[in-house]
Structure 1
Amino acid sequence: MNIQTDLTPRLPDGRWALFLDIDGTLLEHAAHPDSVSVSDDLRLLLETVERRLDGALAFITGRSIAAVDGLFDPLKLRIAGLYGLEHRLTPDGQIEAADEPADMAALADEIELELASQAVYVERKGPVLAIHTRAAPHLLIRATELVEAALARLPKGYRVIAGNAGVELMPLEAAKGAAIRRFMQLDPFSGRRPVFLGDDTSDENGFETVNAAGGISIRVKPQGETAARFAIADVASAIAWLEANFGAVDKQANRDDVMAASRIPTEASPPSR
Protein backbone atom coordinates (compact mmCIF):
# COMPACT_ATOMS: atom_id res chain seq x y z
CA MET A 1 0.00 0.00 0.00
CA ASN A 2 1.35 3.41 -0.94
CA ILE A 3 1.76 6.00 1.79
CA GLN A 4 1.08 9.59 0.74
CA THR A 5 3.83 11.74 2.24
CA ASP A 6 2.63 15.12 1.10
CA LEU A 7 3.82 17.31 3.94
CA THR A 8 6.53 17.65 6.51
CA PRO A 9 5.09 17.22 10.00
CA ARG A 10 4.68 20.18 12.29
CA LEU A 11 5.24 18.63 15.66
CA PRO A 12 2.92 19.46 18.54
CA ASP A 13 4.30 20.10 21.98
CA GLY A 14 5.27 16.82 23.58
CA ARG A 15 8.04 14.57 24.77
CA TRP A 16 10.17 13.92 21.69
CA ALA A 17 13.41 11.99 21.19
CA LEU A 18 15.35 13.18 18.14
CA PHE A 19 17.76 11.06 16.08
CA LEU A 20 19.76 12.60 13.25
CA ASP A 21 21.80 11.25 10.38
CA ILE A 22 24.58 13.65 9.37
CA ASP A 23 25.73 13.45 5.74
CA GLY A 24 22.96 14.36 3.33
CA THR A 25 20.73 15.34 6.26
CA LEU A 26 22.57 18.06 8.20
CA LEU A 27 25.47 18.50 5.77
CA GLU A 28 25.58 18.42 1.99
CA HIS A 29 27.44 15.47 0.53
CA ALA A 30 30.94 16.02 -0.82
CA ALA A 31 33.18 13.94 -3.08
CA HIS A 32 35.36 13.18 -0.03
CA PRO A 33 33.89 12.84 3.50
CA ASP A 34 36.61 15.09 4.90
CA SER A 35 35.66 17.93 2.54
CA VAL A 36 32.58 18.93 4.54
CA SER A 37 32.53 21.50 7.32
CA VAL A 38 30.16 22.44 10.15
CA SER A 39 29.03 26.02 10.59
CA ASP A 40 28.87 27.76 13.95
CA ASP A 41 25.14 28.26 13.33
CA LEU A 42 24.59 24.50 13.03
CA ARG A 43 26.55 23.82 16.22
CA LEU A 44 24.53 26.43 18.06
CA LEU A 45 21.26 25.00 16.73
CA LEU A 46 22.17 21.49 17.89
CA GLU A 47 23.16 22.78 21.31
CA THR A 48 19.78 24.51 21.54
CA VAL A 49 17.90 21.40 20.41
CA GLU A 50 19.70 19.20 22.94
CA ARG A 51 18.90 21.64 25.72
CA ARG A 52 15.21 21.90 24.75
CA LEU A 53 14.93 18.10 24.61
CA ASP A 54 16.67 17.66 27.97
CA GLY A 55 19.41 15.67 26.26
CA ALA A 56 17.19 13.39 24.15
CA LEU A 57 19.20 14.02 20.96
CA ALA A 58 21.62 11.62 19.29
CA PHE A 59 23.50 11.30 16.02
CA ILE A 60 22.88 8.00 14.21
CA THR A 61 25.56 7.93 11.53
CA GLY A 62 27.78 5.82 9.35
CA ARG A 63 30.77 7.93 10.33
CA SER A 64 33.00 6.86 13.20
CA ILE A 65 32.54 8.67 16.49
CA ALA A 66 36.09 10.03 16.24
CA ALA A 67 35.33 11.51 12.82
CA VAL A 68 32.11 13.13 14.05
CA ASP A 69 33.83 14.62 17.10
CA GLY A 70 36.51 16.11 14.85
CA LEU A 71 33.88 17.55 12.54
CA PHE A 72 31.64 19.09 15.23
CA ASP A 73 34.38 20.06 17.73
CA PRO A 74 33.93 21.33 20.41
CA LEU A 75 30.33 20.05 20.42
CA LYS A 76 29.86 16.48 21.66
CA LEU A 77 26.51 14.70 21.60
CA ARG A 78 25.23 11.23 22.28
CA ILE A 79 26.03 9.17 19.22
CA ALA A 80 25.85 5.81 17.49
CA GLY A 81 28.68 5.62 14.95
CA LEU A 82 29.39 3.06 12.22
CA TYR A 83 25.65 2.30 11.97
CA GLY A 84 25.51 1.34 15.63
CA LEU A 85 28.76 -0.63 15.92
CA GLU A 86 30.11 2.22 18.06
CA HIS A 87 28.25 4.07 20.83
CA ARG A 88 28.70 6.94 23.22
CA LEU A 89 25.65 6.89 25.42
CA THR A 90 26.33 10.22 27.15
CA PRO A 91 28.12 13.27 25.72
CA ASP A 92 31.04 12.89 28.13
CA GLY A 93 30.93 9.08 28.33
CA GLN A 94 33.26 6.36 27.13
CA ILE A 95 33.26 5.32 23.48
CA GLU A 96 32.40 1.72 22.75
CA ALA A 97 34.67 1.36 19.71
CA ALA A 98 34.94 -1.21 16.92
CA ASP A 99 38.22 -2.47 15.44
CA GLU A 100 39.06 -3.37 11.83
CA PRO A 101 39.18 -7.16 11.29
CA ALA A 102 42.22 -8.47 9.40
CA ASP A 103 40.12 -9.86 6.55
CA MET A 104 38.42 -6.48 6.05
CA ALA A 105 41.80 -4.73 6.04
CA ALA A 106 43.09 -7.09 3.34
CA LEU A 107 40.00 -6.52 1.22
CA ALA A 108 40.35 -2.74 1.56
CA ASP A 109 43.95 -2.99 0.37
CA GLU A 110 42.86 -4.89 -2.75
CA ILE A 111 40.07 -2.49 -3.63
CA GLU A 112 42.32 0.51 -3.11
CA LEU A 113 44.83 -0.93 -5.57
CA GLU A 114 42.17 -1.08 -8.27
CA LEU A 115 40.06 2.00 -7.63
CA ALA A 116 41.81 4.57 -5.45
CA SER A 117 43.76 6.07 -8.35
CA GLN A 118 40.51 6.73 -10.26
CA ALA A 119 38.94 9.38 -8.00
CA VAL A 120 37.28 6.73 -5.83
CA TYR A 121 37.73 7.08 -2.07
CA VAL A 122 37.97 3.84 -0.10
CA GLU A 123 37.08 4.64 3.50
CA ARG A 124 38.14 2.22 6.23
CA LYS A 125 35.80 2.42 9.22
CA GLY A 126 36.79 -0.51 11.39
CA PRO A 127 34.48 -3.40 10.49
CA VAL A 128 32.76 -1.21 7.85
CA LEU A 129 34.23 -0.59 4.40
CA ALA A 130 32.79 2.32 2.40
CA ILE A 131 33.59 2.99 -1.26
CA HIS A 132 32.69 6.54 -2.30
CA THR A 133 32.13 7.05 -6.03
CA ARG A 134 30.57 10.52 -6.01
CA ALA A 135 33.60 11.89 -7.93
CA ALA A 136 33.55 8.92 -10.33
CA PRO A 137 29.92 7.75 -10.69
CA HIS A 138 30.77 5.50 -13.65
CA LEU A 139 32.70 3.26 -11.24
CA LEU A 140 29.79 2.58 -8.87
CA ILE A 141 28.88 -0.64 -10.70
CA ARG A 142 32.46 -1.92 -10.49
CA ALA A 143 32.74 -1.01 -6.81
CA THR A 144 29.51 -2.86 -6.10
CA GLU A 145 30.75 -5.91 -7.98
CA LEU A 146 33.94 -5.97 -5.89
CA VAL A 147 32.22 -5.87 -2.51
CA GLU A 148 29.53 -8.35 -3.54
CA ALA A 149 32.22 -10.79 -4.70
CA ALA A 150 33.99 -10.35 -1.36
CA LEU A 151 31.01 -11.75 0.55
CA ALA A 152 32.04 -15.28 -0.45
CA ARG A 153 35.52 -14.78 1.04
CA LEU A 154 34.52 -13.13 4.30
CA PRO A 155 33.11 -14.90 7.36
CA LYS A 156 29.33 -15.14 7.44
CA GLY A 157 27.49 -12.16 8.82
CA TYR A 158 28.27 -9.39 6.34
CA ARG A 159 25.98 -7.54 3.94
CA VAL A 160 26.27 -5.01 1.12
CA ILE A 161 24.37 -1.70 1.28
CA ALA A 162 24.15 0.34 -1.92
CA GLY A 163 23.85 4.10 -1.41
CA ASN A 164 23.18 7.16 -3.52
CA ALA A 165 26.82 7.58 -4.50
CA GLY A 166 28.72 4.58 -3.22
CA VAL A 167 28.49 1.15 -1.64
CA GLU A 168 29.32 -0.20 1.81
CA LEU A 169 30.17 -3.58 3.25
CA MET A 170 29.27 -4.06 6.90
CA PRO A 171 28.34 -6.64 9.54
CA LEU A 172 24.68 -7.61 9.77
CA GLU A 173 24.48 -6.19 13.28
CA ALA A 174 25.32 -2.74 11.91
CA ALA A 175 21.80 -1.30 11.80
CA LYS A 176 20.58 2.19 12.63
CA GLY A 177 17.27 0.80 13.87
CA ALA A 178 19.04 -1.26 16.52
CA ALA A 179 20.99 1.81 17.63
CA ILE A 180 17.78 3.82 17.97
CA ARG A 181 16.15 1.02 20.00
CA ARG A 182 19.12 0.97 22.35
CA PHE A 183 18.91 4.70 23.03
CA MET A 184 15.14 4.50 23.51
CA GLN A 185 15.68 2.15 26.46
CA LEU A 186 17.84 4.72 28.26
CA ASP A 187 17.33 8.07 29.94
CA PRO A 188 16.62 10.70 28.71
CA PHE A 189 15.05 8.97 25.65
CA SER A 190 12.86 6.45 27.46
CA GLY A 191 9.14 7.26 27.41
CA ARG A 192 9.46 9.74 24.55
CA ARG A 193 8.23 9.55 20.96
CA PRO A 194 11.09 9.09 18.46
CA VAL A 195 11.79 11.25 15.41
CA PHE A 196 14.43 10.22 12.87
CA LEU A 197 15.78 12.21 9.92
CA GLY A 198 17.92 10.48 7.29
CA ASP A 199 18.58 10.58 3.58
CA ASP A 200 19.91 7.27 2.27
CA THR A 201 19.32 3.55 1.92
CA SER A 202 21.19 2.85 5.15
CA ASP A 203 18.60 4.96 7.01
CA GLU A 204 15.64 2.81 5.94
CA ASN A 205 16.08 0.41 8.85
CA GLY A 206 15.88 3.39 11.19
CA PHE A 207 12.69 4.63 9.52
CA GLU A 208 11.08 1.22 9.95
CA THR A 209 12.06 1.11 13.63
CA VAL A 210 10.66 4.57 14.32
CA ASN A 211 7.44 3.80 12.43
CA ALA A 212 6.94 0.66 14.51
CA ALA A 213 7.35 2.74 17.67
CA GLY A 214 4.69 5.22 16.55
CA GLY A 215 7.25 7.91 15.83
CA ILE A 216 7.98 10.31 12.97
CA SER A 217 10.23 9.20 10.09
CA ILE A 218 11.49 11.80 7.61
CA ARG A 219 13.65 11.24 4.54
CA VAL A 220 15.58 14.14 3.09
CA LYS A 221 15.45 14.40 -0.72
CA PRO A 222 13.96 10.91 -1.19
CA GLN A 223 14.85 8.91 -4.28
CA GLY A 224 12.64 5.92 -5.07
CA GLU A 225 10.90 3.81 -2.46
CA THR A 226 11.24 4.61 1.22
CA ALA A 227 9.73 3.53 4.50
CA ALA A 228 9.77 7.15 5.70
CA ARG A 229 6.31 8.61 6.21
CA PHE A 230 7.38 12.19 5.47
CA ALA A 231 9.83 13.96 3.18
CA ILE A 232 11.91 17.13 3.16
CA ALA A 233 13.29 18.65 -0.03
CA ASP A 234 16.94 19.21 0.90
CA VAL A 235 19.50 19.83 3.64
CA ALA A 236 18.64 23.51 4.00
CA SER A 237 14.96 22.64 4.48
CA ALA A 238 15.86 19.94 7.02
CA ILE A 239 17.81 22.45 9.11
CA ALA A 240 14.96 24.97 8.82
CA TRP A 241 12.53 22.27 10.00
CA LEU A 242 14.74 21.49 13.00
CA GLU A 243 14.93 25.15 13.91
CA ALA A 244 11.18 25.61 13.51
CA ASN A 245 10.33 22.63 15.71
CA PHE A 246 13.17 22.52 18.23
CA GLY A 247 15.09 25.79 17.88
CA ALA A 248 15.09 28.97 19.92
CA VAL A 249 11.75 29.98 21.37
CA ASP A 250 11.88 33.46 19.86
CA LYS A 251 11.93 31.92 16.38
CA GLN A 252 8.75 29.95 16.80
CA ALA A 253 6.71 32.85 15.38
CA ASN A 254 8.19 32.02 11.95
CA ARG A 255 7.27 28.35 12.23
CA ASP A 256 4.39 28.31 9.74
CA ASP A 257 6.44 30.10 7.07
CA VAL A 258 9.31 27.65 7.45
CA MET A 259 7.01 24.65 7.31
CA ALA A 260 5.33 25.88 4.16
CA ALA A 261 8.71 26.35 2.48
CA SER A 262 9.85 22.82 3.36
CA ARG A 263 6.85 20.87 2.04
CA ILE A 264 7.27 18.64 -1.00
CA PRO A 265 4.96 15.99 -2.43
CA THR A 266 6.27 12.47 -2.86
CA GLU A 267 4.83 8.96 -3.16
CA ALA A 268 6.53 6.34 -1.07
CA SER A 269 6.01 2.76 -0.05
CA PRO A 270 7.93 0.53 2.33
CA PRO A 271 10.83 -1.34 0.68
CA SER A 272 10.36 -5.05 0.20
CA ARG A 273 13.55 -6.01 1.98
Structure 2
Amino acid sequence: MANAANKRLPLRAPLPAKPEGFPDRIALFLDLDGTVLDLAASPGAVSIPQETIVAIARLVSRLGGALAVITGRSLADVDHILAPLRLPAAALHGAELRRRGGGRVEDGGSPPPQRLTAALGAFVDARPGLALEDKGASVAVHYRSTPEREGEVRERVAGLVAQLAPAHELQPGKMVVEVRPRGCDKGSALVTLMADAPFAGRIPFVLGDDLTDEFAFEAAAAYGGAAALVGAVSRPSAAIYELPDPAAVRDWLAALADA
Protein backbone atom coordinates (compact mmCIF):
# COMPACT_ATOMS: atom_id res chain seq x y z
CA MET A 1 0.00 0.00 0.00
CA ALA A 2 1.37 3.42 -0.90
CA ASN A 3 2.41 5.74 1.91
CA ALA A 4 -0.27 8.41 2.21
CA ALA A 5 2.18 10.77 3.89
CA ASN A 6 3.59 11.49 0.42
CA LYS A 7 0.24 12.83 -0.78
CA ARG A 8 -0.65 16.47 -0.33
CA LEU A 9 -4.38 16.63 0.20
CA PRO A 10 -6.77 19.54 0.89
CA LEU A 11 -7.06 21.01 4.38
CA ARG A 12 -8.94 18.76 6.76
CA ALA A 13 -12.48 19.60 7.85
CA PRO A 14 -13.82 19.36 11.41
CA LEU A 15 -15.10 15.89 12.23
CA PRO A 16 -18.89 15.79 11.75
CA ALA A 17 -20.93 15.09 14.87
CA LYS A 18 -22.49 12.06 13.19
CA PRO A 19 -20.95 10.31 10.16
CA GLU A 20 -23.32 9.83 7.25
CA GLY A 21 -24.88 6.37 7.47
CA PHE A 22 -24.52 6.08 11.26
CA PRO A 23 -25.29 3.65 12.80
CA ASP A 24 -26.50 1.03 10.31
CA ARG A 25 -23.91 1.51 7.55
CA ILE A 26 -20.80 2.57 9.46
CA ALA A 27 -17.93 0.51 10.89
CA LEU A 28 -15.78 2.38 13.41
CA PHE A 29 -12.05 1.72 13.88
CA LEU A 30 -10.20 3.37 16.78
CA ASP A 31 -6.53 3.78 17.53
CA LEU A 32 -5.75 4.12 21.24
CA ASP A 33 -2.61 6.08 22.20
CA GLY A 34 -2.81 9.70 21.11
CA THR A 35 -6.35 9.13 19.81
CA VAL A 36 -8.67 7.87 22.55
CA LEU A 37 -5.92 7.98 25.20
CA ASP A 38 -3.74 10.94 26.13
CA LEU A 39 -0.06 10.16 25.60
CA ALA A 40 1.80 9.46 28.83
CA ALA A 41 5.43 9.39 29.89
CA SER A 42 5.46 5.62 29.41
CA PRO A 43 3.09 3.14 27.71
CA GLY A 44 2.03 1.74 31.08
CA ALA A 45 1.06 5.12 32.51
CA VAL A 46 -2.01 5.74 30.35
CA SER A 47 -5.54 5.88 31.72
CA ILE A 48 -9.06 6.12 30.32
CA PRO A 49 -12.14 7.62 31.97
CA GLN A 50 -14.80 5.10 32.89
CA GLU A 51 -17.41 7.16 31.04
CA THR A 52 -15.44 6.66 27.81
CA ILE A 53 -15.53 2.89 28.24
CA VAL A 54 -19.29 3.15 28.80
CA ALA A 55 -19.64 5.26 25.66
CA ILE A 56 -17.64 2.75 23.60
CA ALA A 57 -19.80 -0.09 24.91
CA ARG A 58 -22.93 1.79 23.84
CA LEU A 59 -21.45 2.42 20.41
CA VAL A 60 -20.66 -1.28 20.02
CA SER A 61 -24.35 -2.00 20.61
CA ARG A 62 -25.57 0.76 18.29
CA LEU A 63 -23.18 -0.36 15.53
CA GLY A 64 -24.21 -4.00 15.78
CA GLY A 65 -20.71 -4.90 16.93
CA ALA A 66 -18.94 -3.10 14.07
CA LEU A 67 -16.37 -1.33 16.23
CA ALA A 68 -12.75 -2.44 16.43
CA VAL A 69 -9.49 -1.24 17.94
CA ILE A 70 -6.46 -0.96 15.64
CA THR A 71 -3.32 -0.30 17.65
CA GLY A 72 0.37 -0.89 18.08
CA ARG A 73 -0.30 -2.19 21.59
CA SER A 74 -0.59 -5.86 22.41
CA LEU A 75 -3.99 -7.50 22.69
CA ALA A 76 -3.40 -8.02 26.41
CA ASP A 77 -2.86 -4.26 26.78
CA VAL A 78 -6.03 -3.49 24.84
CA ASP A 79 -8.12 -5.73 27.07
CA HIS A 80 -6.55 -4.33 30.22
CA ILE A 81 -7.15 -0.71 29.21
CA LEU A 82 -10.71 -1.24 27.99
CA ALA A 83 -11.81 -3.78 30.63
CA PRO A 84 -14.40 -5.22 30.87
CA LEU A 85 -14.85 -4.79 27.09
CA ARG A 86 -13.42 -7.44 24.79
CA LEU A 87 -13.57 -5.96 21.32
CA PRO A 88 -12.54 -7.06 17.85
CA ALA A 89 -8.97 -5.82 17.58
CA ALA A 90 -5.91 -5.65 15.39
CA ALA A 91 -3.12 -5.39 17.94
CA LEU A 92 0.60 -4.97 17.26
CA HIS A 93 -0.38 -3.40 13.91
CA GLY A 94 -2.25 -6.58 12.99
CA ALA A 95 0.29 -9.15 14.18
CA GLU A 96 -2.37 -10.13 16.73
CA LEU A 97 -5.86 -10.19 15.26
CA ARG A 98 -9.09 -10.96 17.09
CA ARG A 99 -12.34 -11.04 15.17
CA ARG A 100 -15.81 -10.60 16.63
CA GLY A 101 -16.68 -12.80 19.59
CA GLY A 102 -13.42 -12.54 21.47
CA GLY A 103 -12.29 -16.03 20.55
CA ARG A 104 -9.30 -17.22 18.55
CA VAL A 105 -6.39 -14.83 18.09
CA GLU A 106 -4.72 -15.01 14.70
CA ASP A 107 -0.95 -14.68 14.45
CA GLY A 108 0.13 -12.27 11.72
CA GLY A 109 3.84 -12.93 11.73
CA SER A 110 6.93 -14.24 13.54
CA PRO A 111 8.39 -12.16 16.38
CA PRO A 112 11.73 -10.40 15.88
CA PRO A 113 14.69 -12.74 16.40
CA GLN A 114 16.10 -12.79 19.92
CA ARG A 115 19.48 -11.55 18.71
CA LEU A 116 17.84 -8.34 17.47
CA THR A 117 16.01 -7.81 20.78
CA ALA A 118 19.27 -8.38 22.64
CA ALA A 119 21.15 -5.91 20.42
CA LEU A 120 18.42 -3.30 20.89
CA GLY A 121 18.53 -3.92 24.64
CA ALA A 122 22.28 -3.25 24.71
CA PHE A 123 21.78 -0.07 22.66
CA VAL A 124 19.06 1.19 25.02
CA ASP A 125 20.95 0.27 28.21
CA ALA A 126 23.89 2.41 27.11
CA ARG A 127 21.72 5.51 26.59
CA PRO A 128 19.82 6.90 29.59
CA GLY A 129 16.31 8.03 28.72
CA LEU A 130 15.63 5.33 26.12
CA ALA A 131 13.27 2.45 26.87
CA LEU A 132 12.84 -0.95 25.23
CA GLU A 133 9.36 -2.49 24.97
CA ASP A 134 9.28 -6.15 23.98
CA LYS A 135 5.72 -6.88 22.79
CA GLY A 136 6.40 -10.40 21.61
CA ALA A 137 5.39 -10.03 17.95
CA SER A 138 7.20 -6.70 17.76
CA VAL A 139 9.73 -4.68 19.70
CA ALA A 140 9.90 -0.91 20.18
CA VAL A 141 12.45 1.66 21.29
CA HIS A 142 10.87 4.69 23.00
CA TYR A 143 12.68 8.03 23.25
CA ARG A 144 9.96 10.23 24.84
CA SER A 145 12.33 11.28 27.62
CA THR A 146 15.15 12.15 25.19
CA PRO A 147 13.59 13.39 21.92
CA GLU A 148 16.95 14.76 20.84
CA ARG A 149 18.05 11.15 20.23
CA GLU A 150 15.49 10.60 17.45
CA GLY A 151 18.02 10.56 14.60
CA GLU A 152 20.41 8.31 16.48
CA VAL A 153 17.64 5.87 17.41
CA ARG A 154 16.22 5.63 13.91
CA GLU A 155 19.63 5.14 12.32
CA ARG A 156 20.78 2.49 14.78
CA VAL A 157 17.53 0.52 14.82
CA ALA A 158 17.36 0.57 11.02
CA GLY A 159 20.92 -0.75 10.80
CA LEU A 160 20.26 -3.56 13.26
CA VAL A 161 17.06 -4.59 11.45
CA ALA A 162 18.85 -4.73 8.11
CA GLN A 163 21.62 -6.82 9.64
CA LEU A 164 19.71 -9.13 11.97
CA ALA A 165 16.03 -9.23 10.95
CA PRO A 166 15.50 -8.91 7.17
CA ALA A 167 11.97 -10.36 7.47
CA HIS A 168 11.01 -7.37 9.60
CA GLU A 169 10.71 -3.65 8.96
CA LEU A 170 10.97 -0.35 10.75
CA GLN A 171 7.87 1.66 11.68
CA PRO A 172 8.52 5.14 13.11
CA GLY A 173 5.88 6.68 15.35
CA LYS A 174 5.49 9.41 17.96
CA MET A 175 8.68 9.27 20.01
CA VAL A 176 9.08 5.58 19.15
CA VAL A 177 10.62 3.32 16.53
CA GLU A 178 9.06 -0.12 16.25
CA VAL A 179 10.21 -3.31 14.53
CA ARG A 180 7.35 -5.42 13.19
CA PRO A 181 6.89 -8.31 10.71
CA ARG A 182 7.23 -7.04 7.15
CA GLY A 183 3.87 -6.29 5.51
CA CYS A 184 2.03 -6.25 8.83
CA ASP A 185 0.27 -2.89 9.11
CA LYS A 186 -3.01 -1.32 10.18
CA GLY A 187 -4.29 -1.08 6.61
CA SER A 188 -3.95 -4.80 6.00
CA ALA A 189 -5.58 -5.42 9.37
CA LEU A 190 -8.56 -3.24 8.48
CA VAL A 191 -8.99 -5.10 5.18
CA THR A 192 -8.98 -8.43 7.03
CA LEU A 193 -11.60 -7.28 9.53
CA MET A 194 -13.77 -5.79 6.79
CA ALA A 195 -14.06 -9.19 5.09
CA ASP A 196 -16.35 -10.64 7.76
CA ALA A 197 -19.46 -9.76 9.75
CA PRO A 198 -20.27 -7.41 11.34
CA PHE A 199 -17.93 -5.17 9.30
CA ALA A 200 -18.56 -6.56 5.82
CA GLY A 201 -20.74 -4.30 3.68
CA ARG A 202 -20.29 -1.30 5.96
CA ILE A 203 -18.32 1.91 5.37
CA PRO A 204 -15.15 2.14 7.49
CA PHE A 205 -14.53 5.27 9.55
CA VAL A 206 -11.10 5.48 11.22
CA LEU A 207 -9.73 7.71 13.99
CA GLY A 208 -5.96 7.87 14.49
CA ASP A 209 -3.09 10.22 15.18
CA ASP A 210 0.19 8.74 13.97
CA LEU A 211 2.05 7.71 10.84
CA THR A 212 1.12 4.09 11.56
CA ASP A 213 -2.55 5.03 11.16
CA GLU A 214 -2.06 6.29 7.60
CA PHE A 215 -2.22 2.71 6.32
CA ALA A 216 -5.69 2.36 7.85
CA PHE A 217 -6.73 5.78 6.55
CA GLU A 218 -5.86 4.71 3.00
CA ALA A 219 -7.58 1.37 3.38
CA ALA A 220 -10.76 3.07 4.62
CA ALA A 221 -10.73 5.43 1.64
CA ALA A 222 -10.48 2.46 -0.71
CA TYR A 223 -13.80 1.21 0.72
CA GLY A 224 -15.41 4.62 0.24
CA GLY A 225 -14.90 5.45 3.90
CA ALA A 226 -13.08 8.26 5.66
CA ALA A 227 -10.67 9.05 8.47
CA ALA A 228 -10.06 11.71 11.09
CA LEU A 229 -6.57 12.75 12.18
CA VAL A 230 -6.24 13.62 15.86
CA GLY A 231 -3.93 16.36 17.14
CA ALA A 232 -2.18 19.45 15.82
CA VAL A 233 -0.57 17.68 12.86
CA SER A 234 0.74 19.64 9.89
CA ARG A 235 2.00 16.73 7.77
CA PRO A 236 0.09 15.51 4.70
CA SER A 237 -2.44 12.80 5.48
CA ALA A 238 -5.11 10.65 3.85
CA ALA A 239 -7.50 11.79 6.60
CA ILE A 240 -10.12 14.31 5.47
CA TYR A 241 -11.34 15.21 8.97
CA GLU A 242 -9.60 16.32 12.16
CA LEU A 243 -10.05 16.62 15.91
CA PRO A 244 -7.72 18.67 18.13
CA ASP A 245 -6.84 16.13 20.81
CA PRO A 246 -7.87 12.89 22.57
CA ALA A 247 -10.18 14.79 24.93
CA ALA A 248 -12.17 15.92 21.89
CA VAL A 249 -12.25 12.32 20.65
CA ARG A 250 -13.67 11.12 23.96
CA ASP A 251 -16.30 13.87 23.85
CA TRP A 252 -17.14 12.90 20.25
CA LEU A 253 -17.56 9.24 21.17
CA ALA A 254 -19.82 10.13 24.08
CA ALA A 255 -22.01 12.37 21.93
CA LEU A 256 -22.15 9.80 19.13
CA ALA A 257 -23.25 7.10 21.57
CA ASP A 258 -26.26 9.27 22.36
CA ALA A 259 -26.93 10.48 18.79
**What TM-score do the two structures reach when normalised by structure 2?**
0.89
Contact 1:78 1:88 in 2 (8 A): yes
Contact 1:219 1:231 in 2 (8 A): yes
Contact 1:20 1:60 in 2 (8 A): yes
- State which of 11, 31, 41 in structure 1 corresponds to 2:19: 11
Contact 1:127 1:170 in 2 (8 A): yes
User: What is the letter of the counterpart of residue 252 of structure 2?
Assistant: W
Q: How far did 1:21 drift?
A: 0.3
Contact 1:220 1:234 in 2 (8 A): yes
Aligned to 1:29: 39
User: What is the letter of the counterpart of residue 11 of structure 1?
Assistant: P
Q: How far did 1:74 drift?
A: 1.8
Aligned to 1:102: 114
Q: How far did 1:100 drift?
A: 4.9
Could you say if the C-alpha distance between residues 66 and 5 of structure 1 is closer, same or farther in structure 2, counting changes exceeding 3 Å?
A: same
- State which of 118, 131, 149 in structure 2 corresponds to 1:139: 149
Calculate percent identity across the aligned residue pairs: 35
Q: How far did 1:56 drift?
A: 0.4
Q: How far did 1:214 drift?
A: 0.7
Deviation string 1:142-190 (CA, Å, 9 cap, x unpaired) is: 2112111113212423222222222222222220000000010010000
Question: Aligned partners of 2:70 and 2:100: how far apart in 1?
Answer: 14
User: What is the letter of the counterpart of residue 231 of structure 1?
Assistant: E
- State which of 243, 254, 266 in structure 1 corresponds to 2:254: 243
Q: How far did 1:82 drift?
A: 0.4
Aligned to 2:178: 168
Question: Aligned partners of 1:225 and 1:107: how far apart in 2?
Answer: 34
**What TM-score do the two structures reach when normalised by structure 1?**
0.84
Q: How far did 1:95 drift?
A: 2.2
Aligned to 1:262: none
Question: Aligned partners of 1:188 and 1:137: how far apart in 2?
Answer: 41
Aligned to 2:3: none
Deviation string 1:210-259 (CA, Å, 9 cap, x unpaired) is: 111110111101241211111111111112222233x12xxx3xxxxxxx
Aligned to 1:256: none
Where does structure 1 differ by over 4 angstroms across 4 or more consecutive aligned residues?
A: 97-100
Q: How far did 1:101 drift?
A: 2.9
Q: How far did 1:68 drift?
A: 1.3
Question: Aligned partners of 1:71 and 1:228: how far apart in 2?
Answer: 26
Count matched residues: 246
Q: How far did 1:27 drift?
A: 0.4
Question: What is the root-mean-square deviation in Å for CA atoms of aligned residues?
Answer: 1.7
